[in-house]
Structure 1
Amino acid sequence: MFVSGGAPRGTCARRRLVCSTTQPGASARTKRSKPAWAGSDEWLSKLINLLIQTPWVYALLKRQAKAVIRRTAEARGIAWHGFAQALEQAGVASYFSPRVDLVYPSYYTKPFHAYDEGNLCWEAAYEVEPATYAMALRIWPQERELTWLDAQRRLRHLFLDQVARFMAEKDDTGIARVRVAIDVGCGAGVSTRFLADYLSQHVSADALLSVHGVDLSPYFLAVAKLRNEQSNAADLCNLAPNVRIEYHQALAESLPFDDDAADLITLQFVAHELPRDATKTIIRELVRVARCGGCIALVDNDPRSPVIQNLPPALFTLMKSTEPHSDDYYAFDLEECLRQTTGIASVDVVACDPRHRAILCQVRKER
């Protein structure tokens, strides 16, 4: 049952609802809509941007930003350089198959994450996994006994538990009815593997489950495809025989799927790397691909998080220096954009951990 009272035959009834809740253990969301260090209208943000635009300062910030995350990784048992060596030895380059017809948007070719070539280089691909694992550890800095794998699992499951809860509220079968899931902006496939594993625990063993990862970077996808064939990857779950993962290089604005193709579409830690115009276009594309009654689920930095809003100056300066679209992301009312998007019937916003929010949407389309 999607909507109380049901919908006319041949249509999906439309309603708009938004509620905001907090996951146990997460910080309560603040009334302030964004951090003072983000946006074009804040003096602090303007000062930081001026520093970032100064070449010698930017060069220093870029080196320091990578050093901070690398130190976190190595201090907690993540072999930063070991990942690159292992990937090279495993022949990751043989999985590199870029589409020659693909034109990269200008917003994507900017320097990202302290890499001059952004996500379009081997260095970024070699380091994306250890960086991803280290970032999860930084969410719970006081838990010194927390392993990097447990931190990553907690991060993913706190989000996916909310997806399961939301889908169960909209339909008695809930997440168990998912047969096709798409992970947009999958990177090297860490999020895709956790998604596939989570779904496999809820879907009937005799049902075929197809999970698709989509990304623009052929370098990241080479890593993802290699991991897909490895049984000893650190976070690679032993997936059930009925689960299939496939990867695709494509624009999120133009997904390689038919209309109404997916029961669940996720956008995990992607929106903060997009300008708002691209985000709006991508949201419309997600609605096109999602089935009526399906779920679109986003997780990303929460502009209303007290932790995010109160980051020390050194940290938020480093963060902004590696994220060229930060100001636009934090100033953009993504939740309201989703509520106003044709085809989205309800929106639920949840603070799923101290830094991140899940935005969960049910799709309703007239047939």
Structure 2
Amino acid sequence: MKQTAAQRGVDWDAETQKILSDPELPKIKAAIEQPEFIYPDYYIDGNLNWLAAAEMSAASAVIACRVFRDLDSADAAVLRFRTTITATIRQYLQRRGLRDPEDVVDVGCSTGIGTRWLAREFPRARMTGLDASPYFLAVAELEQRRNPLPDCRRICFDHGLAEAAPYPAGSFDLVALQYIAHECPQSATRAFLAEARRVLRPGGVVCVVDNNPRSPRLQSMPPAMFTLMKSSEPWSDEFYSLEMEGALVDAGFRAIWTMPVNTSHHAVFGQLPPLASTVPENGV
């Protein structure tokens, strides 16, 4: 990954060290972290350290570069990677005749990279990021302080679990789960979707962005590469055997719609029935 980063103009080590050397990080973590937080058995300990959090920006850029190999720079790849996701979300909202969300939560927000892109797409929304790693959240808050959003909105970053979010029922219009399902067992993913239903308002939308098991790129991946991926993603088999559309229906969502966002990933949407009207069982 570091080799790809260097080829596309990303100084992995310098970016990582810049974050790690900031004296504010431990203070931010102490302010965000819930001291009696209980981690579920499936949670990967590798997320609970400063190095993993500090490397997230460079690692995410490399993933974008590998998806968009035709682009010369990491900045261009990241721009396309993220805006294709937000454009797909907007397309679903428009097809459903929905106005822009007023309250958005990015569940499993990591260091807030995707959260910030959601905030740019929906400039009037109140934005929240939820994650189980206080290290990742501290880096997200540090980035927010260093590089405020253009409109000076603040994202609220909370320490909590996707399956037990610290929010009242009916708090949000849009719940995004970006690239977390492939890191978890099916039981956890189903719990995430059930919790998304709880915190959404009537007519609210959930969006699951993740690897697309049906994509030609993943279908043609050599078995050895899948085995290598499983060394860091132990729940891969459960993820690839889960039919996400069916899981959304089981969780009570309707108007299911799946759309590729690039050659390797897709977005799967569902909507809660509004109070005053019905939502079609299938399709958008």
TM-score (structure 1 length as normaliser): 0.71
Pick from 172, 175, 178 the counterpart of residue 265 of structure 1: 175
Give structure 1 regions of 4+ aligned residues with deviation exceeding 4 angstroms. Answer: none
Provide Cα deviations, 1:146-176, integer angstroms capped at 9, x if missing partner: x2122112112111111111111222x532x
Which residue of structure 1 aligns with residue 20 of structure 2?
Answer: 88
Provide Cα deviations, 1:100-132, integer angstroms capped at 9, x if missing partner: 1110001003xxxxxxx3101112112111101
1:63-212 equivalences under 5 Å are 69-91=1-23, 92-97=25-30, 98-109=33-44, 117-141=45-69, 143-145=70-72, 147-171=73-97, 173-175=98-100, 178-200=101-123, 203=124, 209-212=125-128
Which residue of structure 2 aligns with residue 222 of structure 1?
Answer: 138
Q: 1:351–1:357: 8 Å Cα contact kept in structure 2? A: yes
| SS at 1:285 equivalent | helix
For residues 270 and 107 of structure 1, the distance between their equivalents in structure 2, rounded to whole angstroms, comes to 12
Whose Rg is larger? 1
Which AA in structure 2 matches 1:108? Y
For residues 136 and 235 of structure 2, the distance between their equivalents in structure 1, rounded to whole angstroms, comes to 20
| SS at 1:244 equivalent | coil
Unaligned runs of 5+ in 2: 277-284
| SS at 1:167 equivalent | helix
For residues 261 and 144 of structure 1, the distance between their equivalents in structure 2, rounded to whole angstroms, comes to 39
Greater relative contact order (Cα 8 A, min sep 6): structure 1 or 2?
1
Pick from 188, 192, 196 the counterpart of residue 278 of structure 1: 188
| SS at 2:38 equivalent | coil
Which residue of structure 1 aligns with residue 150 of structure 2?
Answer: 239
| SS at 1:360 equivalent | strand
Identity %: 34
- Pairwise CA RMSD of aligned residues? 1.6
By how many angstroms is 1:318 displaced? 2.2
| SS at 1:258 equivalent | coil
| SS at 1:322 equivalent | coil
Q: 1:303–1:330: 8 Å Cα contact kept in structure 2? A: yes
Correspondence 1:320 to 2:230: yes
For residues 118 and 365 of structure 1, the distance between their equivalents in structure 2, rounded to whole angstroms, comes to 40
Provide Cα deviations, 1:302-360, integer angstroms capped at 9, x if missing partner: 00011011113443332222111101000111211112222x12110011210001101
For residues 202 and 263 of structure 2, the distance between their equivalents in structure 1, rounded to whole angstroms, comes to 32
By how many angstroms is 1:258 displaced? 1.1
Q: 2:144–2:154: 8 Å Cα contact kept in structure 1? A: no
